[in-house]
Structure 1
């Protein structure tokens, strides 16, 4: 897969893919969120955070995805890529089937493509600013972009904790992509036909963007 890094293309291949769920830094808020989802029929995770091992074929650099059903939605995620000894940061969307989520969160993630941005940064270049990075997403409603998510990455567990969770479970971190988590929704789940996300570095005034449409089969 090709990514743009400092005005040049970089080839990065990954064989292992993980989404980390329930990775909020405030554990009490995370537990409250789990309780809210349980009322909606979503099963509790086995652990906090929870690791979902997915097929690497789901992760695509595309401007549209196909889904089955009208209850799917995206989530802006900060993404880590491990390619040999080098680590990178980019942006993705953990698009998920919300109806199937009530049956199995793992299955609900596996049935949807995971859109991925084409730009990326070296992890070492943003490591010191990690908590100040900002995640936002927007949905198209009435032909206008409306804010769907927005918060600093500091609301997600520190990257060191996330990596310790993965290695503790014996997960592979070579040629690997990791969706590290998302930030809270502003007003609950929506199911738009267009989704836009942004990862912004305020210190350097740089952003990675991702936009895609959703086609219901």
Structure 2
């Protein structure tokens, strides 16, 4: 099984480039392409209620996730592209490889929500100083269209078979927060269904 993450997947390309310019000011290198595809270690996938990380500047990020089996049947769920923000200034690829990627075990059949794709809702919260703070909230319409995702993957030699793909996120409410726990979810109003994950962020001693 292969694991991928699509970065810089905002549908509004002008805002995406504005964000890239902002990141460049704090030392994050410009991506080679927009969007950009990251091939990740599948062993990073994490289904537990806690992760262990190194460093003080890591944060979660809610993502809509496609899971394709060997026959090409696709399920949809929610995950967190937990990333080392400090390491991002050196290498985005390495920053994504250093942290576990929490993923919900519950899924929705792709065919059941394909016509609702843009209206699916993503949200996340960070626990900071013992309080849950709203971190992200928005519709999947903020991410590049589904057909563009499929085309992008194909152009990069990725077939949606035996693969898990983190497809993108929605904007942060107010900048990065490096908290002690993270929770996020994906909501389908059509199915009246919400899939959520929550996990503790445990910092290893250095």
TM-score relative to the length of structure 1: 0.92
Matched residue pairs, number?
Answer: 203
Q: Note if contact 2:66-2:77 (Cα within 8 Å) is conserved in structure 1.
A: yes
Aligned equivalent of 2:52: 66
Matches within 5 A, 1:14-163: 15-83=1-69, 84-163=71-150
Deviation at 1:172, TM superposition (A): 3.6
Provide the secondary structure at the position in 2 that maps to 1:166: helix
Provide the secondary structure at the position in 1 that maps to 2:94: helix
For structure 1, list consecutive stretches of 5 or more residues without a partner in the other structure.
Answer: 1-14
Following the alignment from structure 2 to structure 1, what is the Cα–Cα distance between the partners of residues 164 and 38?
A: 12
Q: Which runs of 4+ in 1 moved over 3 A?
A: none
- CA deviation vs aligned residue, 1:140-182 (integer Å, no higher than 9, x gap): 1232211000000000001111111111111242100000000
Aligned equivalent of 2:160: 173
Pick which of 83-92 and 139-148 moved more.
Answer: 139-148
Aligned equivalent of 2:200: 213
Provide the secondary structure at the position in 2 that maps to 1:165: helix
Q: Note if contact 2:55-2:203 (Cα within 8 Å) is conserved in structure 1.
A: yes
Provide the secondary structure at the position in 2 that maps to 1:199: strand
Following the alignment from structure 2 to structure 1, what is the Cα–Cα distance between the partners of residues 26 and 60?
A: 18
For structure 2, list consecutive stretches of 5 or more residues without a partner in the other structure.
Answer: none
Following the alignment from structure 2 to structure 1, what is the Cα–Cα distance between the partners of residues 117 and 128?
A: 31
Following the alignment from structure 1 to structure 2, what is the Cα–Cα distance between the partners of residues 60 and 171?
A: 22
Deviation at 1:205, TM superposition (A): 1.9
Deviation at 1:85, TM superposition (A): 2.8
1:202 aligns with 2:161: no
Q: Note if contact 2:76-2:108 (Cα within 8 Å) is conserved in structure 1.
A: yes
Provide the secondary structure at the position in 1 that maps to 2:14: helix
Following the alignment from structure 2 to structure 1, what is the Cα–Cα distance between the partners of residues 106 and 25?
A: 38
Following the alignment from structure 2 to structure 1, what is the Cα–Cα distance between the partners of residues 31 and 110?
A: 29
**Root-mean-square deviation over aligned CA pairs:** 0.8
